[in-house]
Amino acid sequence: MRSTFKVLFFLKRDKQKANGMIPLFCRITVDGQETRFGMKCDVNSNFWDVKTGKATGRTTEAVKINALVDNTKVAIFKVYRELQERDNYVTAERVRNVFLGVEAKQQTLLELYDKHNRERKLLIGVSLCQSTYTSYVRTYERLGDFLRKWYNLSDIPIREIDHEFICNFKAYLVANYRLTHNSLTKYLKNLRYIIGIAIQKDYISKNPFINFSMQSQDANRGFLSQEDVEKLIAFQSKNKKLEQARDLFVFCCFTGLSYSDVANLTEQHIQLSFSDKMWIKGRRQKTDIKYNIPLLNIPQLILKKYADSPLCDKVLPVPKYHNYRDRLKRITKICEIDKNITSHLARHTFATTIALTKGVPIETVSKMLGHTSIKTTQIYAKVINSKISNDMDMLAEKLNGMAMKMAANF
């Protein structure tokens, strides 16, 4: 729907000068909202036609004023049409600013995204976990690559992003990176968040994500078996950094804490309960949800191992995330564990191998993990049920011979 648009020229009579001349002004109106600016021209009110908005007579001065009025009107209409066609979003103030050459610098996508990331970096460990920040940075980098390879651009104005741009970015990610459905969706949701900021700041008027589907799927949460966990516990190395990474991972396997939660774990989180047993009590870094986890023997032994280490106020030696991840991969290779191990795999292992498969109620596991909804915890239960089904299928196949013999006797 096109907006209503008017341009009017008038004399600002309350600014009449001592010589009787009055300043000429231009008024722009879009959808009932108006703005005005001075034409830097004075007119004798006796030679001004209010109805036509022009000077009367054929004097040189009248011809000069009317030429200024006509040229200004043509230029303003041109600005209006360009803004309509480009953005489909026009205000009187924007038309005036573009015409006068004072429109604010166009906000670009990567510039806005970089500003967002720099602001979020300051919140790591306060209200933002490292993994979330890393996700934003990775999306920013992918967008930069996409713009260079797909459009041959170093950046793009926010207002030029449309539905086609989103579809092209999705196609680029699919073609160039081996992403799961949920990883792909995460990239797009990160971009949508930045677009949301642009909409709030009035950098863009129309949301390009309208009618763009981004439905996450229930993830198939991997986890280590009890045998795998026992291999890690038995792991020995002269490399102290590898040993520390193993200790940290095993600690997470028996507490359900994430990397960021353990990185912020202090003595204040270790508390004696009413039953004289040790618990870990705190709030999840990612969601700020409370968690209460009883300390089992194995994590207690790990805490005791590092009790006298110079760790400032922290209870465990937690390396930088990328170092931790690389060391875990080296450990699993040595232990011959054929799984893509990540820091979060320990949390999944706690939910499945350590808790649910040992009969701990799902409601209790949900509370210990600090999940915002039990639906999240139920994903682990689905994995367990699927494993039980597969194991029973294998058992049925092995017992098939016995079943055939039995059937022959009936």
Distance between CA atoms of residues 338 and 224, nearest Å: 10
Instruction: Work out the percent of the chain whose per-residue pLDDT is above 90.
Output: 45
Model confidence, pTM: 0.52
Alpha helices in 335-361 (DSSP H): 343-349
**Taking residues 382-398, what's their average pLDDT?**
58
Q: For residue 180, is pLDDT > 70?
A: yes
Helical spans, DSSP H, in 316-373: 321-334, 343-349, 362-369
Q: Residue 283 burial by CB count (10 A; 0-12/13-18/19+): exposed, middle or buried?
A: middle
Give 241's Cβ-side CA count (13 Å radius). Answer: 10
Phi/psi at 81 (5° precision) = -65, -40
Q: What are phi and psi of 139, to 5 degrees?
A: -65, -40
Q: Checking DSSP bridges between strand 33-44 and strand 48-49, what pairing results, if any?
A: unpaired
Q: What is the mean pLDDT of residues 163-179?
A: 92
pLDDT, tens digit, for every residue of 230-253?
A: 999 999 999 999 999 999 999 999
pLDDT tens by residue, 98-146: 898 865 567 889 999 999 999 999 988 777 777 788 999 999 999 999 9
- Pick the closest to residue 43 from 22, 71, 61, 28 (CA basis): 22
CA distance 40 to 21: 12
pLDDT band at 1 (very low <50, low <70, confident <90, very high): very low
Cα–Cα distances in angstroms (integers) from residue 62 to residues 11, 13, 21, 36, 44, in the given order: 14, 18, 14, 22, 10
Reduced to 3 states (helix: H, G, I; strand: E, B; else coil), residue 2 is coil
Percentage of the chain exceeding pLDDT 70 = 85
> Quick one: CA dihedral 64, 70, 73, 75, positive or negative?
negative
- 167-176, 217-226, 389-398 — most confident range: 167-176
Structure-block tokens of residue 107:
């906000």
Sign of the alpha-carbon torsion through 370, 374, 380, 384: positive
User: Residues 51-86: pLDDT tens digits?
Assistant: 999 999 989 999 999 999 999 999 999 999 988 887
pLDDT tier for residue 273 given thresholds of 50, 70 and 90: confident
pLDDT tens digits for 308-364?
877 667 889 999 888 999 999 999 999 999 888 888 888 888 888 888 778 778 787
- Provide mean pLDDT across the span 361-383: 71
Average pLDDT, the chain: 85
Burial of 73 per CB tally in 10 Å (0-12, 13-18, 19+):
middle
The pLDDT tens digits for 12-40 are: 999 999 998 999 999 999 988 899 999 99
- Give 41's DSSP letter: E
Confidence of residue 404 (pLDDT cuts 50, 70, 90): low
